[in-house]
Amino acid sequence: MHILVTNDDGVTAPGLLALAQAVRPFGKVSILAPDRNWSASGHVKTLDRPLRVRPVVLTDGSEALACDGAPSDCVALAHAGFFDEKIDLVVSGINPYANLGHDVTYSGTVTAAMEAAIWEMPAVAFSVDSPDNHLGLVDYAATAAIATQVVESVIQYGIAPHLLLNVNVPYLPLEQIKGMQITRQGLRVYHEQFDKREDPRGKPYYWSIGSVPGGIPERGTDVGALAEGYVSITPIQLDLTAYHWLPELNTWKFGPKVSEQG
C-alpha cells in the first residue's frame, strides 16, 4: 500500500504531519505537498509554468517533498510521473477548518482529493472544525485517530471509482465524539462582503472581508453531523449534473436564432 499525503496549507503545516503519522501503519507513505498555503484556491491546473519539487524534512524527521504548484498539481504530478511506484490511496489534510457544503469547490484540501478521483485513485480529505477564535495551536490528535479508523475502512471496503470521501471532524476530545455519520452536503451560509478602498494612485480595489461562514445544521448533512458532535463522512462525486432538473430543462423551447427574428 503506497499512500500519498498532501494538503493545501503547505508541507510544513502540523495537520499534514499528524495525518502522515496517522496513516503510517498502513504502508509506505510519500508526502508531496505545496510549498506554501493554497487554502481556498479551488481546483487548480498549472499550465503556464513548470512545476518544481524539492526535498524537505518535517519536524519529526520524516522526509517530504515540497512542490511550487497547487494541491491538485501535487496529486496529478504524483500520479503521472513523479513516483515510480503506483499510488494506492491519497489522503489530504488535516485542514484546520471544516470543509462543508459548497466549501468543497473552494477547498484546496478537497480539490486535491478531487484530482485523485479523476485519476481513479481512492482519496479522502480530512478537516477538523476548529473554531476560528481558538487559542494556541490546533489540536489534531482526535482527527488523526479518526483518520486512522477511516483509512482502515477505506482499505477494507474500497471506494467506488471517481468518488472521494470528505471527512470533517468536530473539534472535541476523541472520547466526546459520538461516532461516524454518513452525510450529504449541507448548506453553508456565507457572509460575503468586500471593502472598497483606494490605492495610492487613486484607483479602487476590493478586499474580501467576509466573516467566518455559518451553516444550516440540518440532520443528515455534514453541517448537521458536526453540530451534533459526530464525524461527517460525505461521498463526493465530480459529476455536478443537476439530474433532478433535466426534465424541466428539456421542456424549454429554444426559439429561432436572434438574426432570424422579425
Note the residues at the interface with Mn ion (CB under 5 A).
8-9, 39, 95
- Name the minimum Å distance from CB 8 to Mn ion: 4
Q: Closer to Mn ion by CB, 26 or 114: give it.
A: 114
Separation CA 239–CA 260 (nearest Å): 36
**Residue among 175, 183, 144, 6 at smallest CA distance from 83:** 6
Q: Closer to Mn ion by CB, 39 or 181: give it.
A: 39
Provide the grid cell at 21. 503519522
Separation CA 32–CA 54 (nearest Å): 10
Q: Closer to Mn ion by CB, 9 or 129: give it.
A: 9
- φ/ψ of 105, rounded to 5, equals -80, -20
Q: Closer to Mn ion by CB, 26 or 71: give it.
A: 71
Separation CA 8–CA 16 (nearest Å): 9
Nearest-CB residue to Mn ion? Answer: 39
| Cα–Cα distances in angstroms (integers) from residue 188 to residues 98, 164, 192, in the given order | 11, 20, 12
Q: Closer to Mn ion by CB, 39 or 234: give it.
A: 39
Q: Closer to Mn ion by CB, 15 or 224: give it.
A: 15
- Name the minimum Å distance from CB 229 to Mn ion: 23
Burial class (CB in 10 A: 0-12, 13-18, 19+), 20: buried
- Name the minimum Å distance from CB 46 to Mn ion: 18
- Name the minimum Å distance from CB 39 to Mn ion: 3
Contact 96, 117 (CB under 8 A): no
| Cα–Cα distances in angstroms (integers) from residue 58 to residues 13, 20, 119, 121, 133, in the given order | 9, 11, 28, 25, 27
Cα angle at 112 between 12 and 194, to 5 degrees? 85
- Name the minimum Å distance from CB 108 to Mn ion: 6
Contact 247, 179 (CB under 8 A): no
- Name the minimum Å distance from CB 109 to Mn ion: 6
- Name the minimum Å distance from CB 243 to Mn ion: 31
Q: Is 249 helix (H, G, I), strand (E, B) or coil?
A: helix
Q: Closer to Mn ion by CB, 98 or 177: give it.
A: 98
